[in-house]
Amino acid sequence: MVQKTEQIWFDGRFVPWGEANVHVLTHTLHYGVGVFEGIRCYRCSDGSSAVLRLEEHVDRFFDSAKVVQMEIPFSREEISQAILDTLRTNGLQEGYVRPLAFIGDGAMGVYPGDNPVHVIIAVWPWGAYLGDEALQKGITVKTSSFTRHHVNVMMTKAKVCGNYVNSVLAKREALADGYDESLLLDVDGYVAEASGENIFIVKKSVLKTPPLGPVLPGITRDCLITLARDMGYRVQEQRFTRDEIYTADEAFFCGTAAEVTPIRELDRRKIGPGEAGAVTKLLQQEFFRVVHGDNLKYAGWLTHFGLE
């Protein structure tokens, strides 16, 4: 369950959590055309708080809206400031941020006409997405019977609400079958991504991650590519098959929610030692050093803010 906070930013003003409501004929509720972001803020070692890659998240939010021809009625600067203001107003030192732009009520039918576009920003405390134990011991994964979207079926570079029906189905299937998460393949049978995470494998200290074809350009993915290369690892962005995961030394998921989560098993096949591998642990450790402000080389990734 989401832990409620006090206020939600709604079209430029704060409203109490329980009053942030919409009409049942809201267009996005019926047809799925809305865009969103997932962002984290962290409590830093010096006691301050900081949002990770705020500018990049806001840019992707606006890019997603452009892809589906939604005009967000606020500037990038206004949304960035509203995110910080929402964290401050709720006194949240560490947690999750969810901006959402959606089409309101008015015209009904596939074409939204001149229905207004609304924007909300909600924040709440949120720990490890797949559980604290998952970050340490790793998770079990099932290759989904559902296929990731083709690039001309859904716009895969945008975080569009309707795109995630595919993810919901895959996640439900995995949990029903006793796994922690699902892995989706693309239409050609190559590894794409999880229900809400990007994937990396490690073989002989070389990292490999799928290229940005049907794959969402993850911001945490970008962080880890940069970190790994700066740490001296070779990183390849190229297609690979699921049997390459079976025989990999290590594998892990990454994302704003999942952070860096080791994969210990795929389709009942143990990956490497069946626990978090050495490279995964090092990258996970370095990632958390960065987000907690302990590696000044990447200080530009953090937007610090003070509470009211």
- Catalytic member of 4, 157, 159, 204: 159
d(CA 255, CA 159): 13
Identify the CA nearest to 38 among candidates 103, 117, 126.
126
270 catalytic residue (yes or no)? no
CB 233 within 8 A of CB 205: yes
Residue 39: closest CA among 123, 118, 137, 155: 123
Active site residues: 159
